[in-house]
Amino acid sequence: MKYQGVLFDLDGTLTASGEGITKSVQYALKKMGRPDLGKDRKKLEVFVGPPLLEQFMDYAGFSEEEAAEAVKYYRERYNVTGIFENQPYPGIKELLEGLKEKGITLAVASSKPDQMVKIVLDHFQLDTYFDVIMGSDINRPKMTKAEVILQVLEKMNCLDEREQVIMVGDRHYDVLGAKEAGLSCIGVTYGYGTKEELLRAGVVKTADNTRELGKLLGL
């Protein structure tokens, strides 16, 4: 299908950000007196994608107040060092160039704080490919993925043309957020979620690499 607009998640979809995120979670858990919970960085990849507040509550059993403190510690490290322990996936720039050449409107919809999203995209010179870039409001730690997506659609003037727009993400949070906002979602398996997770959430298609993703998007 030829889409008029494509919304991309950031972490695990455009960039491989796991190292910076998991090391920053380790730092936060140590500061919270729970370094035992951060020994296995692979397990901490569950923090890639969802809002941090709820993930600290789910993973560590923190109260909301404790989780908010953990998020502050996380950002102490991430905002200085972790944000750059990151790199675009192979073929991402070529994919974005191809979509732009076809006149497709491109956007980023991420649960990462808005300022951090823009810093990452600028650092890797990916920002110029996108018509709309939006992350979550740092003052609203419970802001949902669906809320971010709806704000992006509004900026794209696509609220009434959702059938011509698709979301691309690597976790079930992306799929469910897209559904709630009235969009279908393509899942990428090269990120931090599994194919099974994505299929259970209801993706319309999956792509194992950026070349497959390009074909699904009409390249």
Q: In the chain, where are the structural domains located?
A: 5-16+87-216, 18-84
Q: Which CATH number fits domain 18-84: 3.40.50.1970, 2.60.120.460, 3.40.50.150, 1.10.150.240?
A: 1.10.150.240
| Average pLDDT of the chain to the nearest whole number | 96
State the Cα–Cα distance between residues 143 and 31, nearest whole angstrom.
25
State the Cα–Cα distance between residues 165 and 188, nearest whole angstrom.
17
pLDDT in tens, 110-154: 999 999 999 999 999 999 999 999 999 988 878 899 999 999 999
Dihedral angle over CA of 67, 69, 71, 73, nearest 10: -140
Which residue of the set 9, 11, 170, 174 is catalytic? Answer: 9
5-16+87-216 matches 18-84 in fold: no
pLDDT band at 50 (very low <50, low <70, confident <90, very high): confident
List alpha helices for 79-180, DSSP H.
92-101, 114-123, 145-155, 172-180
State the Cα–Cα distance between residues 109 and 149, nearest whole angstrom.
6
Instruction: Please name which of 186, 211, 72 lies closest in space to residue 138, comparing C-alpha atoms.
Output: 72
Q: Reply yes or no on whether 170 is catalytic.
A: no
Sign of the dihedral through C-alpha 193, 183, 152, 133: positive
CATH class of the region 5-16+87-216 = alpha beta
